[in-house]
Structure 1
Amino acid sequence: MIPETGTDDDPKHFHAEMGGAVGERLNWLRAAVLGANDGIVSTAGVVMGVAGATDDSGAIVIAGIAALTAGALSMGAGEYVSVSTQRDSERALLDLEANELQQMPQTEERELAQKYVDKGLSPETAEQVARELTEHDALRAHAEIEFGIDPDNLTNPWHAAWASMLAFTAGALLPLLIVAYVPAGQRILVTVLSIAAALALTGFVSARLGYSPRGPAVVRNVGGGLLAMGVTYLIGTLAGVQVG
């Protein structure tokens, strides 16, 4: 039985409703999942590098705490600056569009109609759609089709900053706790296995929530993380030999 148009069982209806949520979800993924990955990899790289140079657990833990603190603050500040710049750009575009709508409304309506013609509507239908949308909310109609911006849902730099900082901290705690509590003889092996498992999990979750293939995401995450840890461990080992 073919579902009625507009019902929740209609795939087109489902994807139309999902479209706006996907963009917001991907923004959170960028701030949260990537923040967690950076926390895991960068802190693990630091503690592995120091572990390659010395067996002093205190020195390794201090280095891990420093890496966690500096990384979390850097991620939060960087995300805030980046998203604030994006938000300023969105506001500037909205102000520009509002000014154009006020000065030349007919030209803007024809431009909106042409956008829908470019998307496949007939000129007659496009003109009707443009007219009705303009009467309802001209700025929103132009902002969404021209810039992909929802005037009532601009990006929030504080949300992104806190998400990134907290995610980085959560990711960084794993290697830090391992080096703090795992005996020296097992520290390297346990760290490598735990980090590989954590990166596989974050890769899988990010791919699942982003509706992308799981396998390549997991391989990229795990491979990149292990490579980073291997390089820093080698550098730490060479540095320890030179200092010793």
Structure 2
Amino acid sequence: MKKASFEDLTRAHDPAVIRKRLQQAPKPQNISDAVLGGIDGCVTTFAVVSAAVGAGFPPSVALILGFANLIADGFSMAVSTYESNKAKQEYAQSLRDMEEEHIDIIPEGEREEIRQIFANKGFKDDVLEKIVSIICEDRKLWVDTMLIEEHGIHHQADPNPFGAAWATFVAFILIGTMPLLPFLATSLPMNQQFAISTVLAAIMFFLIGMLKSLLFDQPYIFSGIRTLLNGGTAAALAFFTGYLLREVFGVAGI
């Protein structure tokens, strides 16, 4: 996150502002899903292109394989993201239901868990008992405390499985399409198409890394180069794999 000035921090920590902020539910964010989708989309399509070029296939094959992988893998990633976020929701809800049931069946046992949790934090005697009493008077607070302290389920914005899946899919398709665009220019020789595709993929990798760093106030040049190197390594492995297999099996192109 971008660092705030001292004046901004002072205003943000006014008691009225704090009260209003804490009353609002945390907002879910899909930045990480979009970043992951964009990087994977570019890696997927450019790796397919690199493998096709390395194997000596014509541009039409690279284009067909690239778009086929783009759509299939983009959909697969979106589904995986949806299921992952849905599983997190269901897991948290199952733990909440379990704690609710335990409070109904054996409330004193659950009170003792609260007591020992805060005793381990250094509270004792009357202060400890006061904490236990306050928490256990509010059923929702009681359950929330058990989720956080016993199960490590922190109160965050509820994940939106559909939103996360959509962000992943859109970023995957938009960024993943870029390395394929030069192969639509059929008038260009394949070496030029591949060169332009390489440049576009490199730009995409660098921009994704830079954007991620700007959002979280990290050194953007370093992050851009790191993402570029990671994506470039994947593409290089695909290219040389295609080239080696072509040599091993004596493929002369289609």
Same fold (TM over 0.5): yes
Q: Distance in 2 between matches of 1:205 and 1:42?
A: 20
Deviation at 1:32, TM superposition (A): 1.8
CA change 1:224–1:84 in 2 (3 A) is: same
What is aligned with 1:196? 202
Q: Distance in 1 between matches of 2:173 and 2:125?
A: 54
Return the match for 2:153 from 127, 136, 148.
148
1:112 is aligned to 2:127 = no
Q: Distance in 2 between matches of 1:145 and 1:6?
A: 31
Q: Distance in 2 between matches of 1:89 and 1:101?
A: 19
Q: Distance in 2 between matches of 1:112 and 1:208?
A: 41
What is aligned with 2:232? 226
Q: 1:172 corresponds to which letter in structure 2?
A: G
What is aligned with 1:91? 93
Q: Distance in 1 between matches of 2:11 and 2:131?
A: 22
Q: Which runs of 5+ in 1 are unaligned?
A: none
Deviation at 1:38, TM superposition (A): 0.4
What is aligned with 2:3? none
Deviation at 1:216, TM superposition (A): 5.1
Q: Distance in 1 between matches of 2:222 and 2:124?
A: 41
CA change 1:127–1:33 in 2 (3 A) is: farther
Residues 43-93 of structure 1: CA deviation (Å, up to 9, x unaligned): 110012112234632222111111101111110222223233322221211
Number of residues paired by the alignment? 233
Q: Distance in 2 between matches of 1:191 and 1:57?
A: 12
1:243 is aligned to 2:251 = yes
Q: Distance in 1 between matches of 2:89 and 2:47?
A: 33
Q: 1:170 corresponds to which letter in structure 2?
A: L
Q: Which structure would you say has the larger Rg?
A: 2
Q: 2:251 corresponds to which letter in structure 1?
A: V
What is aligned with 1:34? 36
CA change 1:122–1:40 in 2 (3 A) is: farther
Give SS of 1:243's match: coil
Q: Distance in 1 between matches of 2:168 and 2:96?
A: 27
What is aligned with 1:167? 171
What is aligned with 1:177? 181
Return the match for 1:74 from 76, 98, 101.
76
Q: 1:163 corresponds to which letter in structure 2?
A: A
What is aligned with 1:46? 48
Deviation at 1:207, TM superposition (A): 3.4
Give SS of 1:34's match: helix
- Identity over the aligned pairs, expressed in percent? 25
Q: Which runs of 5+ in 2 are unaligned?
A: 1-5
Q: Is the 8 A contact 1:61 1:179 kept in 2?
A: yes
Q: Distance in 1 between matches of 2:38 and 2:207?
A: 11
TM norm structure 1: 0.78
Q: Distance in 2 between matches of 1:170 and 1:33?
A: 12
Residues 13-45 of structure 1: CA deviation (Å, up to 9, x unaligned): 7xx96xx959x44xx244221111100111110
RMSD: 3.3
1:103 is aligned to 2:105 = yes
Q: Is the 8 A contact 1:101 1:108 kept in 2?
A: yes
Q: Distance in 1 between matches of 2:224 and 2:123?
A: 41
Q: Distance in 1 between matches of 2:127 and 2:179?
A: 59
Give SS of 2:159's match: coil
Q: 1:177 corresponds to which letter in structure 2?
A: L
Give SS of 1:148's match: coil
Deviation at 1:9, TM superposition (A): 4.3
Give SS of 1:155's match: coil
TM norm structure 2: 0.75
